[in-house]
């Protein structure tokens, strides 16, 4: 066991765990976060995706010790039910899921891509999601929701969330 | 709303406490009282059907607080299909209250009525017609009108219910809210079978696309899935499954994990092995390290020749769905006889999240948080497993990853219960991907042989179906925990197959629940013809043999496999007589609603009338051939009409099939939520494409080899999806039917038919992998 400091969704945490524990287990069991999910533990499905330094990362496949001190964002770090992030809002507006178990993988992967490549083509979006699984088959609605969000971004629709993100961090830090 | 949807599991509220907290009235409602209400001795196991026994008491379904808030109790749960929201709509509509004043409690054995199992597309018919939740709401609304009539001294004809109150028609100032009428009391009424449902023409909430109330919480990571249930003092368990089918436990070397950090206990019960530790990672490591010796497995039949093996089994259980008695004569006298054999693989549920459950078993009290489709049946089987009485067990439903049938939800509930009982503390178990995929209850393989006789004009005069499939275990129901792997490992026998040959003659009326009888047959038994077609000479004989793997309902169980065979064969027949596949179907269909969805899908797709295959196709230059195919079904013989047109492209050199467009028409009676229905239709199509083109359980030697997302690869988000168009045929005054499993049932056949249209090659074995398509292309004459 060792003491590891983590910054998750702008909030500092100290956990005392086996340093080889997969990040996902620490997030969902020690910190009781509900965004990242266990799908395979093998890096094959995306359900556990979080954003680390702007990259979509599969938290089931990295040991917690390797991310000590790095800012980690989970699905709940983007927005709340009352105030969803625009990409989350786009999924809600488009009713773009069914059971929703896959949603962390879909939203976090798409968000990381569009943050990096705002003008990503549909082919690039599909490429980024090539190893994300939605077994309910909400595929079409999900791609549409991502594109709607992308168009809003491109049109410069002001995102209330970006401004509020700072406030959120202060509140929870 | 989200806090109501995801009540904190830790609180584990009793119904009494919940109702108190939610401001609705207090209903004394213990499990024992429930049993008496139901006319059952406490703990008795009755042979309930899929829909349970319900409850005749209005108070079991609806409570209205003095503040006018409505709490409804349902035994049909949200599985990701939108049923929670649709049931809120139903309650709001039928009771005439605003939807945000309704709280819905789903599937908790200490709070909700026993509605058996949420499955088989039965929720819509069961709760949205003239019984159960719908009838309870109608009964309550009429009761309120009567109470208001007394209170106001106005005859009921002059009163109307709206917005949570009853008011005098034309004089809205004379109005009494429901909360005042009931004054925080119970109804003390029975469901009134004569209570009138609101006519669909008056609906303002039901029948509209109310957005899913759970999506904001889900999309923002706040929703409590069963995976997120946390209980104070909770430990983490991990199971150690046998390495091979048929392997049994020789011994466990507990010393191999001695002193591992966090380890609480190694648990062994018959062939069930698991470990419990403080943290999930510790449990996982201990399970990996634990030295367990197993006997050798049982060699499995060679997968390459499995269907022939299946076809040659003699210890079969035979059933005749229909038999007009003259099929052999008619075939002998027919102008033409056509025959074909279709094969379908084992496939798996393959939920995105592996199954998970939390159990708290201490002495004679057990609580299990489970994503089971069947809280009441699970209560009984978990009690059996734990040696408790059913009333000592409480099952609380929490949604899991979409299940599509019996995935691992029951299995893991037993795992958690066994481990928790062994340590006397709450234990959470989440299966590994390999454990889930190696041992789940697969949808069974099929081999189906069919023959038809045609008259000189090319019309079908006789249809002969003979099919073989497999079974082992299945839904545990109320009394068979051995039907899933963990129960079997713990010493309970799975339901096997009792051979029975020859099959008894069909009696009663046609039951086409598994869609064994093709849509084109009359389904005539004992003077009634409940089939949808015109072919009078008909025989449908099914054989079931013991499966080496566990089997169980998988989205459109048996219906998909049978429909694949019927609808592909129908297409072959149309091609043989050079008829347009749509026209030829209509020639043999008499059910007007099935005809209508066929016509509607064809019209929407812009179907070009001509026989298949398409002439001069397979443009050799581009190397890609395009074609279209149709398939249709009346799901379960009475539970949802659907027709689908698929347009595909076939790469002639690689055999790769791409579905470009998919047009589906569905009639499931009154549409409760149009967007929700469309979401189901779309999901069913993608799921259907995945199963038709890719999915196949594989094995070798004595074990399953499709154990992760590389070896069992469904349709991922990067894979090409077709343009999907949906037509909803709304029938407000018809009975509500199932909507969640119709498109998936017809997709494989429509794609196979489109491949044939494009290329002239018929692929008779699913999935249509590039290798199989190439082989069929090469086999063309
Ligand atoms: S759970 Fe991490 S990729 Fe599947
Ligand atoms: S919505 Fe169920 S897995 Fe994607």
pLDDT tens sequence across B396-455 = 999 999 999 999 999 999 999 999 999 999 999 999 999 999 999 999 999 999 999 999
**Which residues in chain A have Cβ-Cβ distances shorter than 8 Å to B719?**
130, 139
Q: In terms of domains, do B617 and B754 share one?
A: yes
Is residue B342 a part of any domain in this protein?
no
pLDDT digits (tens, 9 = 90+) for B646-701: 999 999 999 999 999 999 999 999 998 999 999 999 999 999 999 999 999 999 99
Listed residues B219, B251, B280: the one ending a domain: B219
How confident is the model at residue B127, as a pLDDT? 80
For residue B617, what pLDDT band results from cuts at 50, 70 and 90? Answer: low
Mean pLDDT of the B160-173 span: 95
Task: Please report which confidence band the pLDDT of residue B4 belongs to, taking 50, 70 and 90 as the band edges.
Answer: very low
Give the whole-angstrom CA distance, residue B120 versus residue B127. 13
Question: Cα angle vertex B38, ends B33, B39, to 5°?
Answer: 100
pLDDT in tens, A108-140: 999 999 999 999 999 999 999 999 999 999 999
State the smallest CA–CA distance between residue A154 and chain B in angstroms: 22
**In this predicted structure, what is the pLDDT of residue B17?**
42
| Ligand of minimum distance to the alpha carbon of A139 | 2
pLDDT of residue B49: 54
pTM for the complete prediction? 0.93
Residue B338 in any domain: the answer is no
Q: Contacts of residue B221 in chain A, CB cutoff 8 Å?
A: 33-36, 74-76, 104
* Residues in chain B, overall count: 781
Identify whether residues B747 and B768 lie together within a single domain.
yes
**With a 6 A CB cut-off, is A98 part of the ligand 2 pocket?**
yes
Residue B173, classed as helix, strand or coil, is: strand
A41·B715 Cβ contact <8 A = no
Answer yes or no: is B303 within a domain: no
Name the residue range of residue B614's domain.
446-779
Instruction: Check CB contact under 8 Å for A76 and B221.
Output: yes
- Per-residue confidence at B468, pLDDT binned at 50, 70, 90? very high
Positive/negative CA dihedral, B321, B326, B330, B332:
positive
CA gap B715, A130 in Å, rounded: 10
In chain B, how many domains are there?
3
Residue B186 has pLDDT above 80, yes or no: yes
Question: Is residue B111 domain-shared with residue B241, that is, in the same domain?
Answer: no
Tens-level pLDDT at each residue, chain A (173 residues): 899 999 999 999 999 999 999 999 999 999 999 999 999 999 999 999 999 999 999 999 999 999 999 999 999 999 999 999 999 999 999 999 999 999 999 999 999 999 999 999 999 999 999 999 999 999 999 999 999 999 999 998 655 444 343 333 333 32
pLDDT over 70 for what percent of chain B?
A: 92
B276-292 pLDDT, tens per residue? 999 999 999 999 999 99
Report the pLDDT value the prediction gives residue B2, as an integer from 0 to 100. Answer: 34
- Burial state string for B92-119 with b = 16 or more CB within 10 A and e = fewer than 16: bbbbbbebebbbbbbbbbbbbbbbbbbb
- Among all bound ligands, the one having the nearest atom to the CA of B401 is 2
DSSP string, B741-776: SHHHHHHHHHHHHHHHHHHS----BSS--HHHHHHH
Kindly indicate whether the ipTM for this predicted assembly is greater than 0.90, answering yes or no.
yes
Whether B343 is in a domain gets the answer no
Q: What is the mean pLDDT of residues B623-641?
A: 96
B422, B452: one domain: no
The minimum-distance atom of ligand 2 relative to the CA of A136 is 2
Query: CA–CA separation, A127 vs B489, rounded Å?
Result: 42
CATH number for the domain including B377?
3.30.365.10
Residue B7: pLDDT band by 50, 70, 90 thresholds? very low
pLDDT of residue B45: 29
- In a domain, residue B320? The reply is no
Closest CA to B427 of B232, B269, B285, B272: B232
- B16 with B150, same domain? yes
Q: Which residue, of B407, B439, B471, is where some domain finishes?
A: B439
Using DSSP, state whether B420 is helix, strand or coil.
Answer: helix
Q: Do B431 and B540 sit in the same domain of this protein?
A: no
Whether residue B132 is found in the same domain as residue B112: yes
B100 lies in the same domain as B249: no
Mean pLDDT (chain B) is: 92
Mean pLDDT of B23-27: 30
Distance from CA of A26 to the nearest CA of B (A): 9
Are residues B353 and B496 both part of a single domain? Answer: no
* Per-residue confidence (pLDDT) for residue B739, from 0 to 100: 86
Question: pLDDT value at position A12?
Answer: 97
With H, G, I as helix, E, B as strand and everything else as coil, classify residue B166. Answer: strand
Cβ atoms of A96 and A138 within 8 Å: the answer is yes
Q: Is residue B301 part of a domain?
A: no
Please name the helix (run of DSSP H) or strand (run of DSSP E) that holds residue A123, with its range, or none: helix A122-128
Q: List, in order, residues 6 or more apart from B637 with CB less than 8 Å away.
A: B510, B511, B512, B513, B515, B517, B523, B530, B531, B532
- Which ligand sits nearest to residue B715's alpha carbon? 2
Residues of chain A contacting B431 with CB distance shorter than 8 Å: none
Contact A137 B686 (CB under 8 A): yes
Q: Using CB atoms, pick whichever of B81, B225, B430 lies closest to residue A98.
A: B81
Cβ proximity of B250 and B294 under 8 Å: yes
Of ligand 2's listed atoms, the one at least distance from the Cα of B353 is 3
**How big is chain A by its Cα radius of gyration, in Å?**
16
Q: How far apart are CA B750 and CA B643, in angstroms?
A: 9
Burial of B364 (0-12, 13-18, 19+ CB in 10 A): exposed
Domain-embedded: residue B328: no
Q: Is B281 on the interface with A (CB under 8 A)?
A: yes
Cα–ligand 2 centroid distance for B550 (angstroms): 25
Query: Are the Cβ atoms of B715 and A139 closer than 8 angstroms?
Result: yes
Environment class of residue A13 by beta-carbon count within 10 Å: exposed (0-12), middle (13-18) or buried (19+)? middle
Last residue of a domain, one of B401, B418, B439: B439
Asked if B156 and B257 sit in the same domain, the reply is no
Does B426 lie in the same domain as B451? no
Facing residue for B716 by CB, picked from A18, A107, A130: A130
A127 to chain B, closest Cα gap in Å: 6
B360 phi and psi, to 5 degrees? -130, 100
Q: Are residues B686 and B540 in the same domain?
A: yes
Asked if the structure places residue B636 within a domain, the reply is yes
Mutate to test the interface with A, among B220, B350, B681 (most CBs of A within 10 A): B220
B187 φ/ψ angles, rounded to the nearest 5 degrees: -75, -35
Residue B587 neighbours by CB under 8 Å, 6+ apart: B459, B534, B579
Tell me what the mean pLDDT of segment B331-359 comes to: 98
Q: Taking CB atoms and an 8 Å limit, are B236 and A40 in contact across chains? A: no
List domains and CATH numbers for chain A.
2-77 (3.10.20.30), 86-166 (1.10.150.120)
């Amino acid at each position: 066991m060792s003491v590891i400091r983590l910054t998750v969704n702008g909030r500092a945490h100290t956990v005392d765990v086996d340093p080889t524990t997969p990040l996902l287990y620490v997030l969902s069991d020690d910190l009781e976060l509900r965004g990242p999910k266990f799908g395979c533990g093998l890096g094959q499905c995306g359900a556990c995706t979080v954003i680390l330094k702007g990259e979509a990362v599969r938290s089931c496949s990295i040991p917690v010790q390797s991310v000590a001190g790095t800012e980690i964002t989970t699905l709940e770090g983007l927005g709340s039910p009352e105030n969803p992030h625009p990409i989350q809002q786009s999924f809600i507006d488009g009713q773009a899921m069914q059971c929703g178990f896959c949603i962390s993988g879909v939203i976090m992967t798409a968000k990381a891509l569009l943050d990096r490549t705002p003008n990503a083509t549909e082919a690039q979006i599909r490429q980024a999601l090539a190893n994300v699984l939605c077994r309910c088959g909400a595929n079409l609605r999900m791609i549409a929701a991502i594109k709607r969000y992308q168009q809003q971004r491109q049109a410069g629709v002001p995102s209330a969330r970006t401004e509020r993100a700072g406030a959120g961090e202060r509140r929870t830090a | 709303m989200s806090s109501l949807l995801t009540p904190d599991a830790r609180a584990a509220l009793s119904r009494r406490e919940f109702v108190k907290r939610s401001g609705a009235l207090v209903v004394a409602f213990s499990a024992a009282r429930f049993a008496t209400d139901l006319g059952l001795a406490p703990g008795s196991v009755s042979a309930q059907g899929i829909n349970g026994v319900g409850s005749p008491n209005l108070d079991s379904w609806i409570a209205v607080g003095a503040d006018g808030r409505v709490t409804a109790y349902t035994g049909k749960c949200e599985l990701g299909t939108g049923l929670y929201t649709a049931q809120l709509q139903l309650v709001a509509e039928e009771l005439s209250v605003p939807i945000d004043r309704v709280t819905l409690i789903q599937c908790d054995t200490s709070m909700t009525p026993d509605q058996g199992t949420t499955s088989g597309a039965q929720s819509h018919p069961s709760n949205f017609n003239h019984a159960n939740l719908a009838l309870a709401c109608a009964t309550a609304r009429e009761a309120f009108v009567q109470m208001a009539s007394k209170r106001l001294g106005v005859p009921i004809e002059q009163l109307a219910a709206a917005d949570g109150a009853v008011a005098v028609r034309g004089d809205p100032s004379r109005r009494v809210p429901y909360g005042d009428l009931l004054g925080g009391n119970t109804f003390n009424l029975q469901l009134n079978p004569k209570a009138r449902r609101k006519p669909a023409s008056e609906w303002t909430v039901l029948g509209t696309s109310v957005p899913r109330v759970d999506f904001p919480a889900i999309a923002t990571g706040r929703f409590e899935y069963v995976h997120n249930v946390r209980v104070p003092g909770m430990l983490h368990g991990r199971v150690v499954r046998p390495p091979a089918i048929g392997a049994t436990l020789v011994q466990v070397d507990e010393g191999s994990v001695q002193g591992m950090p966090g380890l609480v206990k190694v648990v062994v019960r018959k062939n069930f092995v698991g470990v419990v530790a403080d943290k999930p990672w510790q449990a996982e490591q201990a399970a990996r390290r634990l030295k367990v010796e197993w006997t050798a497995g049982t060699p499995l039949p060679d997968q390459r020749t499995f269907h022939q093996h299946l076809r040659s089994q003699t210890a079969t259980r035979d059933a005749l769905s229909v038999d007009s008695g003259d099929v052999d004569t008619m075939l002998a006298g027919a102008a033409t006889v056509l025959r074909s054999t279709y094969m379908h693989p084992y496939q798996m549920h393959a939920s995105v999240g592996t199954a998970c459950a939390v159990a708290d078993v201490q002495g004679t009290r057990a609580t299990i948080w489970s994503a089971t489709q069947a809280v009441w049946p699970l209560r009984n089987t978990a009690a059996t497993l734990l040696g408790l009485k059913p009333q000592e067990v409480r099952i609380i439903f929490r949604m899991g990853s979409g299940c599509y049938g019996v995935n691992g939800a029951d299995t893991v509930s037993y795992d958690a219960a066994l481990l928790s009982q062994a340590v006397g503390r709450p234990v959470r178990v989440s299966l590994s991907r390999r454990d889930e995929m190696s041992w789940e209850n697969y949808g069974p393989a099929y081999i189906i042989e069919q023959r038809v006789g045609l008259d000189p004009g090319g019309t079908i005069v006789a249809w002969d179906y003979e099919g073989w499939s497999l079974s082992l275990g299945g839904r545990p129901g109320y009394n068979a925990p051995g039907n899933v792997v963990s129960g079997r490992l713990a010493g309970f026998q799975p339901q096997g197959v009792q051979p029975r040959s020859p099959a008894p003659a069909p009696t009663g009326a046609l039951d086409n629940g598994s869609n064994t009888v093709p849509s084109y047959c009359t389904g005539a038994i004992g003077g009634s013809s409940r089939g949808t077609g015109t072919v009078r000479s008909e025989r449908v004989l099914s054989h079931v043999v013991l499966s080496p793997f566990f089997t169980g309902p998988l989205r459109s169980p048996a219906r998909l496999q049978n429909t694949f065979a019927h609808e592909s064969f129908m297409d072959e027949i149309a091609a043989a007589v050079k008829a347009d596949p749509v026209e030829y179907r209509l020639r043999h269909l008499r059910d007007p609603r099935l005809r209508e969805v066929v016509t509607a899908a064809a019209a929407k797709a812009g179907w070009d009338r001509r026989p298949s295959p398409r002439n001069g196709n397979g443009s050799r230059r581009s190397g890609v051939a395009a074609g279209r195919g149709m398939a249709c079904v009346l799901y379960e013989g009475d539970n949802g009409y659907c027709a689908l047109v698929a347009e595909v492209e076939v790469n002639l050199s690689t055999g790769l099939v791409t579905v470009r467009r998919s047009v589906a028409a569905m009639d499931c009676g009154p549409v409760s939520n149009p967007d929700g229905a469309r979401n189901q239709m779309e999901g069913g199509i993608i799921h259907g494409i995945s199963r038709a083109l890719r999915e196949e359980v594989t094995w070798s030697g004595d074990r399953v080899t499709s154990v992760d997302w590389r070896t069992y690869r469904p349709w991922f988000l990067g894979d090409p999806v077709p343009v999907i168009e949906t037509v909803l045929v709304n029938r407000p005054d018809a009975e509500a039917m199932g909507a969640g499993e119709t498109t998936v049932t017809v997709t494989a056949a429509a794609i196979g038919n489109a491949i044939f249209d494009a290329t002239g090659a018929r692929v008779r074995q699913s999935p249509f992998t590039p290798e199989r398509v190439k082989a069929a292309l090469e086999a063309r004459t």
